[in-house]
Structure 1
């Protein structure tokens, strides 16, 4: 029977270190989530972000903001009468925090109640960021909502 010497200890420590490095290279990345960008044109969008900042600031100054309600058949976004002109077109973007494939963008016309519906068929279980943009008297507005669809 051989004795365990310091040479064996160094060899064992080196083998453990090499095994750890190989684990980090081959096994560890398998469990990592994908990190999709919100937009493929990220840098171009970033340059135009000042318009978004101004639109959000304009919306913050409104006395009444649009509000949303989660209903069994979808999400209804309603606008107060003084916030928007009747029958106007509104742009919404629905970003899924879990899967880029679930993102939706659409222009919609408001109904007679100054509201529109995001139907439940466009949604699946998960969390979303809903961005609503509109224009009144050549002034841009935007509000963002965080919501969870069950």
Structure 2
């Protein structure tokens, strides 16, 4: 084999390898964006900043997690309403949203035993006296 044939073989193998890699990448269906409505979420970001600011101004933390019992406690006053978002960064199919409505002082826990083990972000959005709040906690089950 001479130099010209060797160079052509190298180029053909390189093109075949690149075509195979592109085909494999295009066939993957388990890629998930952080959110389905990315641009709409970006527009509402200022509201989110205000909610975070309100939470930082308050003296108490709304979320506390007991890793041993896998129980999440919501330290919210009676009458607070909102949403608890259990967010799994590695797989959006595991995400869960739970409506929160604190009617009694003693009913404020969420059992997380049924969730898959791994890294989770718990996002709590609530309204209290007409004012919006947001708090996020990173947990490892």
| Short-chain TM bin | 0.7 to 0.9
2:133 matched to which residue of 1?
141
Distance, in Å, in 1 between the alignment partners of 2:67 and 2:3 is: 70
Deviation at 1:96, TM superposition (A): 0.9
Aligned to 2:109, the other structure's residue is in SS state: strand
1:13 matched to which residue of 2?
10
TM-score by structure 1 length? Answer: 0.76
2:34 matched to which residue of 1?
38
Q: 1:24 aligns with which of 14, 21, 42?
A: 21
Aligned to 2:36, the other structure's residue is in SS state: coil
Alignment RMSD: 2.5
Report the number of matched residues: 140
TM-score by structure 2 length? Answer: 0.80
* Unmatched segments (≥5 aa) in structure 1: none
1:109 maps to 2:101: yes
1:132 matched to which residue of 2?
124
Aligned to 2:77, the other structure's residue is in SS state: coil
Aligned to 1:143, the other structure's residue is in SS state: strand
Report if the CA contact (8 A) 2:63-2:135 is conserved. Answer: no
Moved more, 15-24 or 130-139: 15-24
1:120 matched to which residue of 2?
113
